[in-house]
Amino acid sequence: MTSEIQNKDLHQLGVAQLAKAMAERKVSAAETAQHFLARVKSHPELGAFVALNDDVTLAQARAADEKIAAGNAGALAGVPVAHKDIFVTTDFPTTAGSRILSGYQSPYDATVVRKLAEAGVVTLGKLSCDEFAMGSANENVAVPAVGHDKVVPVRNPWDQDRIPGGSSGGSAAAVAARLAPAATGTDTGGSIRQPASFCGITGIKPTYGRASRYGMVAFASSLDQAGPMARSAEDCALLLSSLCGPDPDRDSTSLDRPAENYSRSLNDSLEGLRIGVPKEFLGDGVAPGVRAAIESALAEYEKLGAKRVEVSLPRTELSIPVYYILAPAEASSNLSRFDGVKFGHRANQYADLNDMYRKTREQGFGDEVKRRIMIGTYVLSHGYYDAYYLQAQKVRRMIADDFQNAFKDCDVIAGPAAPTVAWKIGEHGDDPVADYLADIFTLPGSLAGLPGMSLPAGFDGHMPVGLQLIGNYFGETKLLNAAHRFQQATDWHTRTPEGF
Ligand code: GLN
């Protein structure tokens, strides 16, 4: 340890800085892991972590130190990363936020986890999320957080009376509070972008199929994608370069395209970049403070040489009913595997096999999950399939076509990640539709399978606002380049919530 890096400040370093400091042996992976573990334990109030294992984390860190010393370490050697508890891991339990997976220990690692480990990442622990990634507020979680005996909501570090967003709420809160330099998340309808926006961090969901879904507990398979959440686009680029890539033997929807180096074009000029702003994304439903932050961000882009053009995504509103038909339909099928036989929880008293299934699922699933299984089963049932499921599939295709029309006039689409900042815990009460409506700006890109990200772009009052950038298929490089240049010119992404 040299005098340049103070151990007590390690959590202020991002992924790129930590990787560099470790490669130059200015700090060891073991002391870095120790520092972050201590920090996580000193902030149980956020409820961000659901599993820690010091022995595993420190063993991984020591192994990273050995590889660094031997000169054969990966690009991210020694960097601590925490995983959303929807990625299965051999060294930590996996719950997907659900009681039905209590006691579940996976015999294998998710591909994303494995690829990051191969790059040298040290697993810091598992992060709270909405049950089966169904939610927008991390209020649907059903497992206790580290340091608590009871289930607690994850709190937003910018205002602990507020939600962190969801479903990757633990990931966003942990990164915002500097409990981890980076985390993994998954995004089915916005679960990386919306919590990143609400917690003032940067997160990217790549093109559908870019990252392997193997070992990601399935919610809606035609939408689910993994991605990194960190403080900067530079850090996200590093992680994304390691976690993407084909996985033909394990995920048939992973795309046959070699991994890319997303860091390479971060500094490209934005001169002449056409930024399309869909008029539907800045309408009446957007909070004035959010609109103002987005407008200033767009003005900043114009200063950087980009050109603002107006585009239209006319079916934006339809993305809500379409998504909330298709995602539950897929979920109802995916979640049929949780029957008390193969995984996790099983009711301990039952009359016969059917009664065992019924009681296990009744006890194991939370309200939102049950609601979606029922909606999904309904829209897939004989007599309703054509009216709902098939119709939604057709509109999904039209939504994807609308994007292709818009991309004739622009290179990147920009707008808010969400219409408001993070709301108060409990504010939406028992009204799930209030949560669903807040997904309006992230759902269209998800339905089209496009890459999208959120980056900090200012505040509405004391709460962060995220700028969403949506790219065309495989446009991750352009998104990260646009985000990085913005972050070179602004300091929103460096702001830290008070007390952290
Ligand atoms: N909020 C959306 C939902 O509840 C999206 C969740 C996600 O992306 N996993 O389904």
Q: How far apart are the first and last CA of the chain?
A: 23
Encoding tokens for residue 153?
A: 């909501």
Exposed e or buried b per residue across 269-292, where buried means at least 16 C-beta atoms within 10 angstroms of its C-beta:
ebeebebbbbebbbeeebbebbbe
Q: For 11-20, write each residue's pLDDT tens digit.
A: 999 999 999 9
User: Could you list the pLDDT tens digit for every one of the 500 residues in the chain?
Assistant: 444 677 889 999 999 999 999 999 999 999 999 999 999 999 999 999 999 999 999 999 999 999 999 999 999 999 999 999 999 999 999 999 999 999 899 999 999 999 999 999 999 999 999 999 999 999 999 999 999 999 999 999 999 999 999 999 999 999 999 999 999 999 999 999 999 999 999 999 999 999 999 999 999 999 999 999 999 999 999 999 999 999 999 999 999 998 899 999 999 999 999 999 999 999 999 999 999 999 999 999 999 999 999 999 999 999 999 999 999 999 999 999 999 998 899 999 999 999 999 999 999 999 999 999 999 999 999 999 999 999 999 999 999 999 999 999 999 999 999 999 999 999 998 899 999 999 999 999 999 999 999 999 999 999 999 999 999 999 999 999 999 999 999 999 999 999 99
Our answer on whether the CB atom of 171 is closer than 6 Å to any ligand 1 atom is no
Residue 364: strand, helix, or coil:
helix
Q: Is residue 179 part of a domain?
A: yes
CATH at residue 86:
3.90.1300.10
On whether residue 49 sits in a domain, the answer given is: yes
Which DSSP state fits 455? E
Determine if residue 62 is left, alpha or beta; phi over 0 gives left, psi from -120 to 50 gives alpha, anything else beta. alpha
3-state secondary structure of 83: strand
Ligand 1 centroid from CA 136, angstroms? 6
Q: What is the DSSP letter of 218?
A: P
Distance from the alpha carbon of residue 304 to the mean position of ligand 1, in angstroms: 33
The counts of H helices and E strands in the chain are: 15, 11
Answer yes or no: is the C-beta of 189 below 6 A from any ligand 1 atom: yes
Q: Is residue 349 part of a domain?
A: no
Residue 183 maps to a domain: yes
Q: Model confidence over 261-278: pLDDT tens digits? A: 999 999 999 999 999 999
431 domain residue, yes or no: no
330 in a domain, yes or no?
A: no
Length of the chain, please? 500
Name the pTM for this structure: 0.98
Instruction: Tell me the three state secondary structure of residue 277.
Output: strand
What's the domain count of the chain? Answer: 1
- Based on C-alpha coordinates, what's the Rg of the chain? 21
Domain membership of residue 85 (yes or no) is yes
Output the pLDDT for position 4: 60
Q: Is the beta carbon of 411 within 6 A of some atom in ligand 1? A: no
Q: Which domain holds residue 161?
A: 7-243
Query: In this structure, is residue 333 part of a structural domain?
Result: no
Q: How far is the CA of 300 from the centre of ligand 1 (A)?
A: 30
